[in-house]
Amino acid sequence: MSNNYEKIGLAIIGCGTIGRIRSSIARDYPGVEWIGLCDLDKSLGKKLAKDIKADYFTTDMEDLLSRPEVNSVMILTDENHHTDPTLLAIEHNHRIFVEKPLATDISESLDIVNALEKNKVDACVGYTQRFRRRFLAIKERISNGQIGNVHSVITRALMNRMVPIATISKTKNRNNLTPMVVSGTHSLDMSMWLMEGKRPVSVYAKSTDQVLSALGTKDSTFGLFTMDDGTIFSMNISWCLPSVWPGSVYGLEIGIVGTKGVIDVEDTHRDLILATEESLPAGYTTNDFQPPMERHVDFLTSYPPGDIWNQQFWGPMKEETISWFTRILYNTDTPHATAKEGHRNLILTMAMDKSARIGKEIELPEDLSLFE
């Protein structure tokens, strides 16, 4: 990777919740010299442009990405709309950051990976949890061999149903918006990152849909991967907990067992509880979604991107965003997921969904790009 830029000219595609967070962080970062925004919703985009004092706003992403000021792009649109802006950014040879998943269609995801390789463009995928201190510490201890060779991993994620309701209600293209593809991908990415070097060779999964079937998605998916060295990896997620469940978004537990030790991760946020007679806002908001009943208890710090203090955003999304800027400016190694890892994660989440759908174990090809 070479350092081609003295300052960052940043284009942000998508002015929703995440676009607001990352653009605000960018505005305060001294290495970002220019910020342009793009969103199809003109009123939404213009409001954000005014709030962060953006240098430019347009509803036309070709117009934005063609501007001479731009050399870096953050693609922060809804899950189903990452492909076109990513491919366009590649054509312009810009550095790229795209929210997870890389795409929601395997062929489109592969097109992105191939285009990146052909044009030698650096791209990162937004797996924000990699930037939390606890997971960086765990990664270092495993890499140093302190628990020996990892042979068993158990991962469990629980979420309230505000996420699928708010996410899926935004689109009619819901076929691939499953608990694994949209949200389980975070904990799967974390587990695969901690098992770096191990290749999955098969998966068997089951799903259920007694609560969210009306939205066209599943409630829960549980699966078991076998790796090329015999390691087993249990990956389970349920995103149908009631809206009053105190976790704003994610509650995660991971057990990592090695030949010489174990790391047991309790990341459910139950150590910091707020209970109040006041009605609490929804932990996850998008398109003005509000929970169907009042909420009075919260597990604080359970919103994965981070938290607000003094109208400033603090947490792993800030670390991740600033780290990406540093990657560009100073040619430093960072914990970001690569596009290839994002493509792998999409394939593995879809493999779980396919196994659950057909009721059979699925053999995974050595070249995951061959998976259909």
Tokens of 42: 């003109």
Residue 350's nearest CA partner among 247, 223, 191, 166 is 223
Tokens of 352: 């779980």
Could you report the per-residue pLDDT of 23-65, keeping only the tens digit for each?
999 999 999 999 999 999 999 999 999 999 999 999 999 999 9
Could you report the per-residue pLDDT of 325-341, keeping only the tens digit for each?
999 999 899 999 999 99
| DSSP state, residue 238 | E
Task: Sketch out the chain's domains with CATH numbers.
Answer: 8-126+318-335 (3.40.50.720), 133-304+349-353 (3.30.360.10)
Q: With 0-12 CB in 10 A as exposed, 13-18 as middle and 19+ as buried, what is 6?
A: exposed
Confidence of residue 286 (pLDDT cuts 50, 70, 90): low
Residues ≥6 apart with Cβ < 8 Å to 147 = 141, 256, 257, 258, 259, 260, 261, 262, 263
Could you report the per-residue pLDDT of 53-101, keeping only the tens digit for each?
999 999 999 999 999 999 999 999 988 899 999 999 999 999 999 999 9
pLDDT value at residue 52:
96
> d(Cα 22, Cα 318) in Å, to the nearest integer?
7
pLDDT value at residue 319:
97
**Amino acid type, 303:** Y
Report pTM.
0.92
Residue 12's nearest CA partner among 84, 76, 89, 67 is 76
Could you report the per-residue pLDDT of 254-267, keeping only the tens digit for each?
999 999 999 999 99
pLDDT value at residue 274:
95
pLDDT value at residue 1:
43
Give the least confident one: 52-61, 222-231, 284-293, 360-369.
284-293
The verdict on whether omega for the bond into residue 101 sits within 30 degrees of 0, i.e. cis, is: yes
> d(Cα 116, Cα 210) in Å, to the nearest integer?
40
Over residues 237-264, the mean pLDDT reads: 93
Q: With 0-12 CB in 10 A as exposed, 13-18 as middle and 19+ as buried, what is 213?
A: exposed
Bridge partners (DSSP) listed for residue 221: 207, 237
Mean pLDDT, the chain, rounded, equals 92
Say whether 151 sits in a helix, a strand or coil: strand
Confidence of residue 3 (pLDDT cuts 50, 70, 90): very low
Percent of the chain at pLDDT above 70? 94
